[in-house]
């Protein structure tokens, strides 16, 4: 293409090319066009004008609004927007789309995930956990004595809960078998306070019942001895009376 005596592979911005059997020239676009297809059809407008059907306009027709990003006259809200602040910024999306930075997305970008309740793309958050605690005491059935083999436990805290698409949390509690030198439990050792009190209450009741039963046995034995003595006395009087009657005869 020829422009002012120079041949170019393509016309620069602000010019469009014309071809004929005799010559190929770069022709200047209209003053309002930054680039054009021909003198009557603009492709991009200069600052302060907005493109609409190949024309550059200072104000858009009814039903359209200027887009400073596209430099075009566009519908008041993009098709995927349910409501918008302007032609470039959505405030709410239609069903099946999610809002992110003023734009509606059918699929959320990488490192984001859909939130169906808010109909927004939210950052994907992965689980974070703290360091393991020290291993706890070796115990068995809640006791720390009276056995050789037991279990010990260690834990760690969840520092950050994950979002639904984030990496889930690993185990926060671990157990392992442990060995201790066997020793006898002292009375009540290894029991919780409530269990110890309950144990003593049951034992006290059993001891009281034993004491009452022994008392009843002693009372029965005493009563039996008195009955036996009374029978012996009665039998002795009867024999004595018989002897006296036989002597008289």
Residue 167 per-residue DSSP state: P
**216 found inside a domain:** no
In this structure, the answer to whether residues 96 and 33 fall within a common structural domain is no
Of residues 5 and 12, more confidently modeled? 12
In this structure, the answer to whether residues 81 and 67 fall within a common structural domain is no
Residue 71 · residue 83 · CB < 8 Å = no
CA distances from 244 to 46, 172, 237, 247 (A): 160, 102, 11, 5
Lowest mean pLDDT among 141-150, 164-173, 222-231: 222-231
**234 found inside a domain:** no
**206 found inside a domain:** no
**241 found inside a domain:** no
Residue 224 per-residue DSSP state: H
Q: Give the three-class secondary structure for 160.
A: strand
Averaged over 43-47, what is the pLDDT? Answer: 88
**207 found inside a domain:** no
Confidence (pLDDT) at 141: 86
In this structure, the answer to whether residues 12 and 66 fall within a common structural domain is yes
Domain region containing 159: 134-179
In this structure, the answer to whether residues 1 and 59 fall within a common structural domain is yes
Can you say whether the dihedral through the CA atoms of 98, 101, 107, 108 is positive or negative?
A: negative
Strands (E), 72-227: 72-75, 81-86, 89-93, 98-100, 103-105, 112-115, 120-123, 128-129, 149-155, 158-160, 173-179
| Pairing of the two strands 173-179 and 149-155 | antiparallel
pLDDT one-digit tens code per residue, 64-102: 888 887 888 888 788 888 888 877 889 999 999 999 999
Residues of the chain with pLDDT > 90: what percent?
32
In this structure, the answer to whether residues 20 and 70 fall within a common structural domain is yes
pLDDT one-digit tens code per residue, 190-212: 445 544 454 445 556 666 777 77
Whether 45 shows a pLDDT value over 80: the answer reads yes
Question: What is the CB-side half-sphere exposure of residue 129 using CA atoms within 13 A?
Answer: 13
Residue 45 · residue 68 · CB < 8 Å = no
Whether 133 shows a pLDDT value over 90: the answer reads yes
Q: How many domains does the chain have?
A: 3
CA–CA distance, 195 with 179 (Å, rounded to integer) = 25
CATH number of the domain within which 107 lies: 2.10.220.10
Confidence (pLDDT) at 134: 95
In this structure, the answer to whether residues 45 and 107 fall within a common structural domain is no
CA 25 to chain centre: 68
Of residues 11 and 195, more confidently modeled? 11
């Amino acid at each position: 293409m020829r422009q002012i005596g120079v041949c170019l592979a393509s016309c620069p911005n602000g010019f469009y090319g014309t071809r004929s059997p005799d010559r190929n020239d770069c022709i200047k676009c209209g003053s309002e066009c930054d680039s054009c297809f021909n003198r009557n059809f603009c492709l991009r407008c200069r600052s302060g004008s907005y493109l609409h059907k190949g024309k550059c306009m200072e104000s858009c027709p009814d039903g359209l609004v200027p887009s400073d990003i596209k430099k075009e006259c566009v519908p008041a809200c993009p098709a995927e927007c349910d409501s918008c602040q302007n032609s470039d910024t959505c405030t709410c999306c239609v069903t099946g789309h999610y809002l992110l930075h003023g734009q509606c997305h059918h699929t959320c970008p990488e490192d984001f995930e859909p939130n169906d309740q808010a109909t927004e793309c939210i950052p994907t958050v992965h689980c974070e956990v703290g360091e393991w605690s020290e291993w706890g005491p070796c115990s068995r059935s809640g006791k720390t004595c009276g056995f050789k083999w037991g279990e010990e436990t260690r834990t760690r805290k969840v520092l950050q809960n994950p979002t639904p698409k984030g990496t889930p949390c690993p185990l926060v509690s671990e157990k392992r078998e442990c060995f201790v030198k066997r020793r006898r439990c002292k009375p009540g050792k290894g029991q919780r306070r409530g269990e110890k009190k309950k144990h003593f209450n049951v034992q006290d009741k059993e001891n009281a019942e034993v004491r009452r039963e022994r008392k009843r046995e002693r009372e029965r034995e005493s009563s039996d001895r008195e009955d036996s003595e009374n029978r012996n006395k009665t039998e002795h009087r009867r024999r004595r009376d018989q002897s006296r009657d036989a002597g008289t005869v």
